[in-house]
Amino acid sequence: MARHSFWSGLVVIVIALLALNWIIPGYAGSNPFAQIPPDLVPRLASWLMLICGLCIVTGAVYDMVRQRIPLFNSNIDWPALAWASWPFAYVALATWVLVYVKITYVGPLIIALLLYLLGERRWYILVGCSIVPVAMLYVLSVYMMRVGVV
Amino acid sequence: MDFSIVGSAIGEALTLDSFIGIGGGVLLGYIIGVIPGLSRSVAIAIAIPLTFYMSPYIAISFLIGLSKGTAAGSAVSAILLNAPGEASSAATCLDGYPMAKNGRPKTALKIGLLASVLGDILATIILIFVAIPFARVALLFGPYEMAAILAFALVFIAGLSSGSLFKGLAACGLGILLGTVGLDSQTGMPRMTFGYTELMDGFPLIAVAIGTLALSEMFLQAERLRTERHNMSVKINDNPDDRLSWPEFRRTIPTIMRGTGVGTFVGALPGLGPSVASFMSYGMAKRASKTPERFGKGAPEGIAASESADNAVIPAALIPLFGLGIPGNVSAALLVGAFAIHGITVGPLLLREQPELLYSIFAGMIVASILMLILGWFGLKLFAQITRVPPHVVIPIVIFFCIAGMLLQGYGGFGLIILLAFAVLGYLMKKFDYSFVTFLVAFIITPMLELNLRQSIILSRGDPMILLERPIAVFFIVCTILALIALAVRTVKVRKPVAEAPAD
């Protein structure tokens, strides 16, 4: 837990520093005539993140030193990591496909393939669970919202 | 109070359209609530796109009905599966599952249902009688008071809804930072849009809500499938002993009243949420009982205490929302988004500008409670069957609806990329114990916070001494500082969360 806090706190600090030194000065805009500049609230939020990140890292370092926890974990469970990662990759791939093909056309395939990958082998479940939600979406978009096929 | 408005509001709540909308919400909520792992905030996030074609009243009532339905439905899986539909029903498992295992599942489910409905109706009545005077007082507040109250609410939520105040505040900072993306309301200049015109209106709320709540939750559940796969649900048989008698139910009524009180109090405070309320109510019921040894072995009072408090939180969480425009938890924050989608600013101004809508929503909430009782009572066996649906079947369907919800709003590929990015963010926040509740609430209320902060600075011309003329603002600023100190000390000393589960 302390190691998790350390690394996540470090990420918070990096995001806050990126925001304070690059994103806000470059992209938050400025207006010398405005009574409060447009970058005031983003800047306050970034400072809040920076201070909290420092507190999290300090607390984590204290715990790690006290409990003698190493900075890096050498026992990474790679199969577990791979299992946790593939759904992200699957949705990313589906996102790429959906840029070119409408979800109503390719939806059944996306659901059925994911069901199969998650271990479902019964054909009637694969067919039913992949067609019914898409049919519901079709009714919603075409007949109820009248926005056409999405 | 204008009684003609109240009369027309009740009339609107009793139309067929209203019954279909609210009943649909309650039914959908019930089904989603029964499925373990799908919480009420996930249900609302996915369902917001379904409300685009509805009128504002039907849309909001549908979402509130959905919220109530999930709370009642989650008790079914808690009792039959020993796996709560959401964290707030975990206390129901303690007595519900042993009672079901002892051959009385129907009795346990009926006690849970009646406690849910009673807790819900009583808390809704309290909401009606508290929110309206509260909103009248809040109409007198200026930007100083509102900015101070919003800051206090954020600190309170950050401190209580995560294990560490610092992690909660870091999430709050990120929520505020991302909430400022888009056109600056004062200067009209694009802020942190990186040249993307799609970001001129800021990050789409649907993408942020569905990504951090629903899609990230599906990724977490898919990850859990590696080790946990099978559900063993208790079957409902026609056992003659499995009937709820009036004397048995009568004994639970004081517990239900106490649970409703606890749920209403906890729900009205920002950040605590239904999990705290149900466990607090369960603990109080056990302490008040003459036979506390029965608790944990199938005591009806245990189920009643947990469920009444859990359901009372939903209407109570709307007290600060309708009174001040401040969402106290994720579900209320999502309702703010739903109101905004329908062009309505929720808060005290709603009472002045659209009183018919406010009274219609209140009337619709009572209708939702009654429909919840009818659907729950007669659909008992059907909902029990839904507990047998395995999670690996649910995950692909929910992911599909997450993506479809984004496309229905017309954001296309860009919206999907943002959705995936926020899903990754939500997943990491949940994994590393950063309060996504605080993040989402901060993201949603940032425009209001910024507007009030700006108005305060402009009106005061930068002179903080003007606060001396504003005692309410000073009171909340002092409360914010005290809360910060107390929560920081608790984080450093105890390093243990007050609310173990997210306040949704």
Q: What ipTM does this complex have? A: 0.94
Q: What is chain A's Cα-based Rg?
A: 24
B29: distance to nearest CA of chain A, Å?
17
Q: What pLDDT score does B495 carry?
A: 58
The model's pLDDT over B307-364, given as tens digits with 9 standing for 90+, comes to 999 999 989 988 888 888 888 788 888 888 888 888 888 888 887 888 888 889 999 9
Each domain of chain B, given as residue ranges in start order, spans 3-229+240-496
* Chain A residue closest in CA terms to B193: A27
Residue B444 exposed, middle or buried by CB count within 10 Å (0-12, 13-18, 19+) = buried
User: Which site among B178, B191, B218, B431 would you substitute to test the A interface, given the most A Cβ atoms closer than 10 Å to its Cβ?
Assistant: B191
Contact B416 A98 (CB under 8 A): yes
Yes or no, beta carbons of A56 and B446 under 8 Å apart: no
Measured CA to CA, the distance from residue B269 to residue B483 in angstroms comes to 13
**SS3 call for B187:** coil
A143 in contact with chain B, both atoms CB, cutoff 8 A: no
A126/chain B closest Cα distance in angstroms: 9
Selected residues 59-118 of chain A with any CB under 8 Å from a CB in chain B = 59, 80, 83-84, 87-88, 91-92, 94-95, 98-99, 103, 107, 110-111, 114-115, 118
Instruction: Compute the count of residue pairs across chains A and B with CB atoms less than 8 Å apart.
Output: 183
What average pLDDT does range B478-503 have in this prediction? Answer: 73
Question: Cα–Cα distances in Å, from A125 out to A120, A133, B391?
Answer: 8, 12, 13
Residues A63-85, mean pLDDT to the nearest whole number: 87
The secondary structure of residue B468, as a DSSP letter, is: G
Asked if the Cβ–Cβ distance from A8 to B434 is below 8 Å, we say yes
Chain B positions touching A107 (Cβ under 8 A) are 400, 404
CB contact under 8 A, B449 and A35: no
Q: How confident is the model at residue B231 (pLDDT cuts 50, 70, 90)?
A: low
| Residue whose structure tokens are 């008992």 | B380
Q: Do B176 and A45 touch (CB under 8 A)?
A: yes
* B191: enclosing H helix or E strand: strand B190-191
Q: Are A118 and B396 an interchain contact pair (Cβ–Cβ within 8 Å)?
A: yes
Instruction: Give which of A21, A56, A104, A110 to mutate to test B binding, by max B Cβ within 10 Å.
Output: A56
Nearest to A103 among B52, B191, B404 (CB): B404
Q: Which residues of B touch A94 (CB under 8 A)?
A: 403
* pLDDT above 60 (res B501): no
Tell whether the model's pLDDT for residue B385 goes beyond 80.
yes
Inform me whether the pLDDT recorded for B503 exceeds 70.
Answer: no
Higher pLDDT, B259 or B1: B259
| Interface contact flag, A29 B177, Cβ < 8 Å | no
- Across the range B80-89, mean pLDDT stands at 78
In this prediction, residue B256 carries a pLDDT of 95
pTM of the model: 0.85
When mean pLDDT is compared across A74-78, B30-34, B398-402, B430-434, the lowest value belongs to A74-78
Can you tell me the mean pLDDT for B244-271?
90
Q: How confident is the model at residue B497 (pLDDT cuts 50, 70, 90)?
A: very low
**What does the alpha-carbon distance between residue A129 and residue A108 come to, in Å, rounded to a whole number?**
8
* Nearest by Cα to B300 from B120, B98, B74, B86: B98
Q: Report which of residues B239 and A2 the model is more confident about.
A: A2
pLDDT digits (tens, 9 = 90+) for B281-299: 998 998 888 888 888 888 9
Q: Would you say B57 and B14 are in contact if contact means Cβ atoms under 8 Å apart? A: no
pLDDT attached to residue B233:
67
Query: Of B83 and B197, which is predicted with more confidence?
Result: B197
Encoded tokens for B394: 């649910």
- What is the C-alpha separation between B178 and B295, in angstroms, rounded? 46
List CB contacts of B358: < 8 A, sequence separation 6 or more.
Answer: B9, B322, B350, B351
- Per-residue confidence at A30, pLDDT binned at 50, 70, 90? confident
Q: Which comes out higher in pLDDT, residue B152 or B229?
A: B152
Partner B contacted by A142 (CB < 8 A): no
- The Cα–Cα gap between B269 and B316 comes to 9
- CB atoms A95 and B192 under 8 Å: no
The confidence score (pLDDT) of residue B499 equals 45
Closest residue of chain B to A27, computed from CA coordinates: B192
The reply to whether residue B169 touches residue A52, judged by beta carbons under 8 angstroms, is yes
Q: Are B266 and B275 in contact (CB under 8 A)?
A: no
**Å between B424 CA and nearest CA of chain A:** 8
pLDDT category of residue B42 using cuts at 50, 70 and 90 = confident
Measured between beta carbons, the chain B residues lying within 8 angstroms of A149 are: none
Average pLDDT on A104-124 reads 94
Is the model's pLDDT at B394 over the cut of 60?
yes
User: What's chain A's average pLDDT?
Assistant: 91
* Chain B positions in Cβ-Cβ contact with residue A9 (cut-off 8 Å): 170
Q: In DSSP terms, which residues pair with B191 in a beta bridge?
A: B182
Q: Under an 8 A CB cutoff, do B226 and A83 touch?
A: yes
Of A28, A56, A87, the CB nearest to B219: A87
Q: Which tops the pLDDT comparison, B206 or A109?
A: A109
B466, B472 Cβ separation under 8 angstroms: no
Q: Is pLDDT of B267 > 50?
A: yes
Rounded distance, CA A12 to CA A130, Å?
Answer: 40
What's the whole-number average pLDDT of chain B?
Answer: 87
Strand, helix or coil at B182?
A: strand
The pair of structure tokens assigned to B402 is: 């997450």
**Interatomic CA distance for residues B58 and B51, integer angstroms:** 8
- Of the CA atoms within 13 Å of residue B242, those in its CB half-sphere come to 17
pLDDT reading at A73 higher than 90: no
Lowest mean pLDDT among A52-61, A63-72, A111-120, B82-91: B82-91
Asked whether the predicted pLDDT for residue A24 surpasses 50, the reply is yes
* List of chain B residues whose C-beta atoms are within 8 Å of the C-beta of residue A35: 454, 457-458, 462
Q: Do A147 and B408 make contact, defined as CB atoms within 8 angstroms?
A: yes
Give pLDDT tens digits for B448-477: 889 888 888 888 887 777 777 888 889 989
Residues B39/B76, Cβ–Cβ less than 8 Å = no
Q: Is the pLDDT of residue B412 over 70?
A: yes
The CA distance from B414 to the nearest CA of chain A, in Å, is 9
